[in-house]
Amino acid sequence: MTAAWTRRGFGGLVLALGACSTPPQPAPLRTLSPGTLRIGTYFVNPPFEYVSNGQRIGFEVDLMNEIAWRLSLQAVFVDTEWETILQEMQNGKYDCIVGGITITPERRRMLAWSTPYMTTTLSLVVDNRRSPQIRSMADFRNASVGVQAATTDYDIAVKLQQQGRIGSIKVYSFARIQDAMVDLAAGRITAVMKVYPVAAWLARQTPGVSIVAQVPDDPQPLGIGFAPDNPGLLAAVNGALADMNRDGSTARLAQKWGVP
C-alpha cells in the first residue's frame, strides 16, 4: 500500500510540476484589419520600392510580401511621404513601415523596430567625367554634396562639413532624388550621398556615374518600424525574418535586387 501511495503521490507531483512549467504563450498577432498587414512606405526609393511600368516593385516590396505570407496575412502597401511616415506610424495609421529606414536612437524613442534585415553604409556617387580627381573621402574637402532632407544622409553630411571633410551641402526633398542626379550631371554639385543600395542603383542607371567612397564608421542598420504597444506583431515579423535568413530567402531577394 505504501508503494502504491508513493507512485500516486509522485505522479501527482509530476503533474503539478508540469503545470507550473508551461511556457508563456506568445503575445497575440494583432493588426489593424484582420488578415491584412498594412504597410506604410513611399514608392520613390529604388531599389527598395519604386514604380516601374505602372507596377510597384522593389526589394522591400518582395521582402514584406514574403513576411506577410509567412504570417498568413495579405500585404497592403500604402503610399505616403518620408517627411510624414514616422509620425503617421505613431498615430496608428499602419501596422508597420518600411523604406530603407535607418534605425537610430532618436527613432527608437518614437517606435519599436525589427532586427535589422540589412546593415549598410552611406556612399558617395560622382560623375567621373566631371570630377575625375575625386577618388576617396579625402578628396571631398571642397566638394558640394547633395542629400535628402531629414535623413541620416543629411545628418552625417552636416557632421562631415563641420569636420571640414566636405565643402558644402545641397538639400533636396526626399521624393526629388532625381533632381540631385540632374544637378550632378550638370556639375552643380560634386556628389550625391545615399545608403549603398540606393547609391549603387543610381550608379547603374546613370552613365558615367560611380560610387567612389563610403563614409567610414557610420553603419546604417535598416529595419521595419512598429507601434511600441504591439509586441506580438514585432515578434512575429522578427521570427519570419529569422526564418528567411536561415532558409536563404533574404539572400535570394538581395541578389535579385542588387543589394548587399
Which set of grid coordinates corresponds to residue 104? 537610430
8 Å CB contact between 31 and 68? no
Reduced to 3 states (helix: H, G, I; strand: E, B; else coil), residue 167 is: coil
Place of cell 514608392: 43
pLDDT at 19: 45
pLDDT at 26: 55
pLDDT at 43: 98
Count Cβ atoms below 10 Å from residue 107 Cβ, excluding itself.
15
pLDDT at 4: 42
pLDDT at 260: 79
Q: In which element (H, E) is residue 220 found?
A: strand 220-222
pLDDT at 45: 97
CA–CA dist 210, 233 (Å, integer): 40
pTM > 0.85: yes
Which set of grid coordinates corresponds to residue 148? 535628402
Apex CA 244: angle with CA 118 and CA 61, to 5°? 65
Tens-level pLDDT at each residue, the chain (260 residues): 444 434 344 344 333 434 445 545 555 689 999 999 999 999 999 999 999 999 999 999 999 999 999 999 999 999 999 999 999 999 999 999 999 999 999 999 999 999 999 999 999 999 999 999 999 999 999 999 999 999 999 999 999 999 999 999 999 999 999 999 999 999 999 999 999 999 999 999 999 999 999 999 999 999 999 999 999 999 999 999 999 999 999 999 999 999 97
Which set of grid coordinates corresponds to residue 215? 563614409
pLDDT at 25: 54
Beta bridge partners of 213: 124
> What are φ and ψ of residue 77, in 5° steps?
-95, 135
Model confidence pLDDT, tens digit, residues 1-39:
444 434 344 344 333 434 445 545 555 689 999 999 999
Model confidence pLDDT, tens digit, residues 207-239:
999 999 999 999 999 999 999 999 999 999 999
pLDDT at 27: 52
pLDDT at 9: 44
SS3 labels along 60-100: HHHHHHHHHHHCCCEEEEEECCHHHHHHHHHCCCCCEECCC
pLDDT at 255: 97
DSSP state of 102: B
pLDDT at 24: 55
pLDDT at 148: 97
Domain with CATH 3.40.190.10 in the chain: 36-119+221-257, 122-218
Domain 122-218 has CATH 3.40.50.2300: no
CATH top class, domain 36-119+221-257: alpha beta
CA–CA dist 100, 239 (Å, integer): 20
